[in-house]
Structure formats: structure tokens, C-alpha cells
Structure 1
Amino acid sequence: MYRAKTTLEQWRILQAVVDHGGYAHAAAHLNKSQSSLNHAVAKLQDQLNVKLLEVKGRKAFLTEAGEVMLRRSRHLTQNVQDLEELAANINQDWEPEITIAVDLAYPKKLLYPALKSFYPESRGSRLRIIETVLTGTEEAITQAWADIVISPLMPRGFLGEPIAECSLHPVCHPEHQLAALDGPVELNDLQQHLQLVIKDTSNTPSEKQGWLKSEQRWTVSTFETAIDLLLQNIGFCWLPDFIIEDLIASKSLHRLPIKGSSLRPLICYVVKPKPDSCGPGTHLLYQTLIQQSTFNSFYNSSLSDSYTNSYKE
């Protein structure tokens, strides 16, 4: 039978040293002495006979081999954490707190009926509703800091159920220079004007989603602030249809026709980042969100109608 040379604690220490940029900050985070961390990592390297870290100045950097080992170690420590959380959920009837991360692109008016239905069955569980954007939503799934995530992004390796669809539209004030252009707006025209951007809630945002080519860019935290600025004839912004439909109807805002793409369609999914270790309350809320969704019934109805029509033909 194979006996491990290393311990989970050694791998957790290595992860902390890398994540916090060195031994000193990692020691403060773990509430351990810096010398104990040095000893643990040195012993880990000796046991494996592999150089994992190189210290340059006051910072520790991963070697090429260290990057591979660290990445695999995160799966190891996460699997152990999931096992322990699963055991805890098996031993308790109901989780005391449920965290749900909701991307701002999801129309929250669809969320409230599900929460109202869930409340009588919640058995006193505290519910934390955290609003997220872009990479912040993705990290809620990949880092599993939320029990349930409603997201228009689906990271590789995860599954979810579609519960809503919406679209993002470029809008500005009716008197903005872009609104006065004849015909569809060219991308070069957009690049010359101020773009309002909703702040990514991740600590390490990644600009890989959406159109972000304007040199002039203001970042705000909420759609409400973006709209307030737009109503003052400041900039343009991509906003969800459910946010702007009344403002477009009242001609308070102008929807920009853009050559090549005047909207970005989105499908929002409900995801359980750790499906095997979620508690009964999380599972009930997840199922309630799916049952309250009109997306699935519409989708299934469309499939049924399509099948029936094909059969008749």
C-alpha cells in the first residue's frame, strides 16, 4: 500500500506562500511563524526532490515544476475540503447559511418569486445574496465560495440549468453625438467616445468578455450609476434589456444600431459549484429556481411544438 511522503498541511502552506506573495504575508495569514513555513516548504521540496520555489529578494516565485505541482495540489486540497463539507452536511439536517451569487445581468425580478416560494421551507437558514459581475461571477463558480450561482458565463468543467435569457444593448442619451450619426454606428465611432463600464467584482478581473476597446472609459459599480450618467448625456454603455426597456420607450435613452452586432444575447444558468456536497436547503433552493423559471417551460414547449409539427408533416 502506498504511503504518502507529503501532507496536506505542507501543500496548503505552499499555496499560501504563493497566493500571498511570500513567507511573511503567508505567515500572517496562517497565524504561523515565518520560520515554520520556511521549514515546511523546504521539507516538502526535499521529500519530493523537486525545486518548487525560488526566492528573489523578499518574494517567492514558482519554478516551472512548481507551477504544475501547485495546480495539482489545489485539486487535492479542494477534494479534501469537499469531503469534509459533505460529511458535515450528512451529519446535519439543514445548513445554517446559504450563499447565492447573482450576476447583475440576470433580471432579479425573476429571482424574487423563487425566494418567496423558498422562504416558508427554509427552516431558518440565513440567506446571503451577493451581486457579482463578469470574472467575479465566474470565480463564484470556479472557487466555489457560493453555494448557488446564477451566471451568464459557464466555466469549463461545470454544468448548470438555463433559467433566463436576456440581451445587452448599447445605449446613450438621445442628444449624444453617437445618436446623431446616420445609419449603423461603426466600431471606430465607438472607440472615439467615452464608454461606461460596470466594475468587475473579481479581485483579479480579466477583460475577456464584452466590448472594451474605448480608450476613454469610466468604471462604475452599478447599473443605476451608469444610467444616471447616461441621462446626463455622458458616454455610452452596454446594458441589459430589462434595465433599459422603459427608458427606451420614454425616449430617455437611445438604443444604438451598431454595424455587425447591435446586441449581445445571454442565457443565464443556475449552477451548484459543488453539487456533491451541497446541503438539503441548497438543493431545495436550486430546484425552486428551476421550477420558477419560465425559460425551461418555454424551451420545452417549443421543443414539443416543433416535434408535433414535424410529426404531422
Structure 2
Amino acid sequence: MYRPKSTIEQWRILQAVVDFGGYAQAGEALNKSQSSLNHAVAKLQHTLGVQLLQVRGRKAYLTKEGEVMLRRSRLLTQNVEELEQLAENITSGWESEIVVATETIYPKDKLYNALEQFYPQARGTRVRIEDEVLTGTKERIIDHSADLVFVGGEVPKGFPGTSLESVGFSAYCGVNHPLAERAGTDIPLDIEELTHELQIVISDTSQSPQESQGWLKAEQRWTVSTFHQAIDILRRGTGFCWIPRHIVASSNAGDELVELNLSALRNREVLINLVVPRPNQLGPGATLLRDLILQQYDE
């Protein structure tokens, strides 16, 4: 079994000498005597057989070898700090990881704003964000496989949700699709006419998908994994698809897609709710993140 020749404290002292510009300054910062720091660095160099510092005048300078070793030592001390922080988190009940499941239609700007505020207080906790589609988010609520869930539409019974915002959908086709010719007229398109067109749909990520949301009456369907894939197909003049308007706006495809002028369901709205599947077991990190998310909607 390998036994280290150097210690974390020796590397920490070397970093301080470099960062503060000398032994005297580092001694003040670490509340140690200059001679003890000098001895620690000298012993480290002797043990490794590598000269790390050169003293010119009253200031210590890194050698080329010292620059390489210093960079690697910073990773070492950072890893130790994170390891000890993790142990403290576990002891205090702070989570090592927070899982956030989001309905893929959810505009994530406010979530990202909350995460920016969360990061300085995160105490090393990792955050995993996973997109789900349709009943996939409901499944994450029911099986308790996420700490926070952004779900679109109806919330599963027994799980209270907090309403956040509505997401607007419209039906789109490519500018070269025959349906596009009708889009610019005052004559609305009867929605039943779409039953004979190719519909592009986004696959439900649930293990037991339920076709309970949206309009799915077209005789021909192509199923894709993301709205971005659907947009790429529409750009080619193939099929139509209901897409959140904010996704179209951010896709740089606005000039290549046409919103269909439908007689019904032209503007569908889906309400996004934030659900905590296990509120009595929500850890301090997830609680903080939840509160920061809700604050985004109070501003």
C-alpha cells in the first residue's frame, strides 16, 4: 500500500507562500511563524527531491517544476476540502445530490437564476437536472425518484403543487409545407383536416405512457425525442407539430416555420406546477433551492 511522502499541510503552506508573496506574509495569514513555514517547504523539497521555490531578495519565486507541482497540489487540497465538506454535509443531513426533474416544455430561465443563487450556498452538493416528457414527470412524482419536479398539466392525486406559469403551444409546419399556404389567409384551417397530415410528436418518457394530453388524432405520426428534432423535420417541409412558442422563438427557426391558423385549439396553454414528491423528507439543500425557485416568481 502506497504511503504518501508529503502532507496536505505542507502543500497548503507552499500555496500560501506563493499566494501571499513570501514566508513572512504567509506566516501572518496562517498565524504561523516564518521559520516553521520555511522548515515545512524545505522538508517538502527535500522529501520530493525537487526544488519548488527560489528566494530572491525577500520574495519567493516558483521554479518551473514548482509551477507544475503547485497546480496539481491545488487540485489535491481542493479535493480534500470537498471530501471533508461532504462528510460534514452527511453528518448535518445536507444532501450530497439534488435531483430536479423538469417537464421538457418548461422554460428554465428562472430555474437557472435560482441555481446561480444556490451555488454559493451549495456546500458541495451536486445538482442533476433531468428532462421528462408528458407522463414521465408524473412518474417521477409517484415513484419519488426526484426531489423537485416541474410537471405540466394535471398533478397526480395526493401531491400538492405550486402553480408557476403557463406555457403556450401552437401548431407549426415548415414554410414549404402545403399547409403553410393556408396560414396566411383569413380562412382558418379546420382541425379535423390535420387527421390526414403527418404529425410529429415528442415521445413520452414514462415507462407506462398515457396518451392523455395534447391532440393525437393524425393517422400518421413520427415520434422523436426532442422538440429540436421536430423543428429540424419541419424545416424540411415535412409534417406539423405542436410546439411551445418559447422554444420556437429561441430556436432561430422563426423564419422557417409557420404557425397554423386553426379553427380550434390554436393556442393551447399548459400550466407548469412545482411539486415536492416527499415534502416531509426534503433535505436542507433541496429546501433552499425550492425557496429560491419560488422567489423568482414573487419578484
Q: In structure 2, how many angstroms separate the alpha carbons of the residues matched to 1:152 and 1:135?
A: 9
The DSSP-based 3-state class of the residue aligned with 1:265 is: strand
Tell me the equivalent position of 1:160: 161
Letter in structure 1 aligned against 2:167: C
Tell me the equivalent position of 1:198: 202
Matched residues, number: 207
TM-superposition CA deviations, 1:38-85 (whole Å, max 9, x none): xxxxxxxxxxxxxxxxxxxxxxxxxxxxxxxxxxxxxxxxxxxxxxxx
Tell me the equivalent position of 2:21: none
Is 1:136–1:200's contact at 8 Å kept on the other side of the alignment?
A: yes
Could you say if the C-alpha distance between residues 122 and 98 of structure 1 is closer, same or farther in structure 2, counting changes exceeding 3 Å? same
Letter in structure 1 aligned against 2:196: Q
Could you say if the C-alpha distance between residues 200 and 271 of structure 1 is closer, same or farther in structure 2, counting changes exceeding 3 Å? same
Task: Measure how far apart 1:91 and its partner are.
Answer: 6.4
1:261-280 equivalent positions in 2, closer than 5 A: 261-280=265-284
Is 1:185–1:256's contact at 8 Å kept on the other side of the alignment?
A: yes
Q: In structure 1, how many angstroms separate the alpha carbons of the residues matched to 2:144 and 2:216?
A: 27
Letter in structure 1 aligned against 2:145: W
Q: In structure 1, how many angstroms separate the alpha carbons of the residues matched to 2:158 and 2:257?
A: 39
Give the % identical residues.
Answer: 43
Letter in structure 2 aligned against 1:104: T
Unaligned regions of 5+ residues in structure 1, if any?
1-88, 298-313
**281, 286, 296: which one pairs with 1:292?**
296
Task: Measure how far apart 1:234 and its partner are.
Answer: 1.1
Letter in structure 1 aligned against 2:263: K
Tell me the equivalent position of 1:73: none
> Looking at CA atoms only, which structure, 1 or 2, has the larger radius of gyration?
2
Q: In structure 1, how many angstroms separate the alpha carbons of the residues matched to 2:228 and 2:254?
A: 17
Tell me the equivalent position of 1:139: 139
Tell me the equivalent position of 1:171: 172
Is 1:247–1:253's contact at 8 Å kept on the other side of the alignment?
A: no
Letter in structure 1 aligned against 2:99: T
Q: In structure 1, how many angstroms separate the alpha carbons of the residues matched to 2:173 and 2:251?
A: 11
Quick check: 187-196 or 157-166, which moved more?
Answer: 157-166
Task: Measure how far apart 1:187 and its partner are.
Answer: 2.1
Does residue 253 (structure 1) correspond to residue 257 (structure 2)? The answer is: yes
Could you say if the C-alpha distance between residues 146 and 249 of structure 1 is closer, same or farther in structure 2, counting changes exceeding 3 Å? closer
Tell me the equivalent position of 2:122: 122
Is 1:100–1:148's contact at 8 Å kept on the other side of the alignment?
A: yes
Q: In structure 2, how many angstroms separate the alpha carbons of the residues matched to 1:147 and 1:250?
A: 35
Unaligned regions of 5+ residues in structure 2, if any?
1-88
Tell me the equivalent position of 1:107: 107
Over aligned residue pairs, what C-alpha RMSD do you find?
2.0
Task: Measure how far apart 1:270 and its partner are.
Answer: 1.2
Alignment TM-score, normalising by the size of structure 2: 0.65
The DSSP-based 3-state class of the residue aligned with 1:177 is: coil
**225, 230, 233: which one pairs with 1:226?**
230
Q: In structure 2, how many angstroms separate the alpha carbons of the residues matched to 1:271 and 1:171?
A: 30
Q: In structure 2, how many angstroms separate the alpha carbons of the residues matched to 1:194 and 1:110?
A: 35
Could you say if the C-alpha distance between residues 250 and 145 of structure 1 is closer, same or farther in structure 2, counting changes exceeding 3 Å? closer
Q: In structure 2, how many angstroms separate the alpha carbons of the residues matched to 1:276 and 1:220?
A: 37
Q: In structure 1, how many angstroms separate the alpha carbons of the residues matched to 2:90 and 2:161?
A: 23
Task: Measure how far apart 1:164 and its partner are.
Answer: 2.4
Q: In structure 2, how many angstroms separate the alpha carbons of the residues matched to 1:273 and 1:170?
A: 32
Letter in structure 2 aligned against 1:190: L
Letter in structure 2 aligned against 1:176: H
Is 1:174–1:254's contact at 8 Å kept on the other side of the alignment?
A: yes
Is 1:150–1:269's contact at 8 Å kept on the other side of the alignment?
A: yes
